[in-house]
Amino acid sequence: MANILIVDDEKKIADLVEIYLKNENYNVYKYYSSKDLLKNIDKLEIDLAILDVSLPDGNGFDLYKNNIKEKNKVIVIIHGKGSGKIKKITHEVLRENRSVLEYKTSYFNDGMTLVKLNI
């Protein structure tokens, strides 16, 4: 069973993602802030991280880069639907980042980008 981390300050979204993942028999670690996650980060074994790009106490990019060690070097970035500014900025940052091997918009949700890292 894979261990999936969710960090999102929008509780309804985090709770809904958790329900879907648990229904598929995944083990879920859910936090509503970077601060709460960092209190427990050393105890977690993470296979996949689902991070909010814009958190009130930081952002998903820095949180991942500085604190999260996964077995698999894949992250999911949730940036909102469509071709909005956050999605555009997210993809610009990913294009310029040397650690990014590839990224693509999720085929089932255009508000989510899947990223493969070389770290």
Return the pLDDT at 74: 60
CA–CA separation, 23 vs 67, rounded Å? 28
Residue 75 · residue 115 · CB < 8 Å:
yes
Q: Which pLDDT band, with edges at 50, 70 and 90, does 92 fall under?
A: confident
CA–CA separation, 36 vs 20, rounded Å? 22
Q: Is the pLDDT at 104 greater than 90, yes or no? A: no
Return the pLDDT at 57: 84
Q: Is the pLDDT at 61 greater than 90, yes or no? A: no
Q: Is the pLDDT at 28 greater than 90, yes or no? A: yes
Residue 53 · residue 93 · CB < 8 Å:
no
Burial 81-114 (b: 16+ CB within 10 A, else e): eeeeebbeebbeebeeeeebeebebeeeeeebbe
Q: Is the pLDDT at 72 greater than 60, yes or no? A: no
Q: Which pLDDT band, with edges at 50, 70 and 90, does 6 fall under?
A: very high
Q: Is the pLDDT at 113 greater than 80, yes or no? A: no
* Lowest-pLDDT choice from 40-44, 60-64, 79-83, 103-107: 79-83
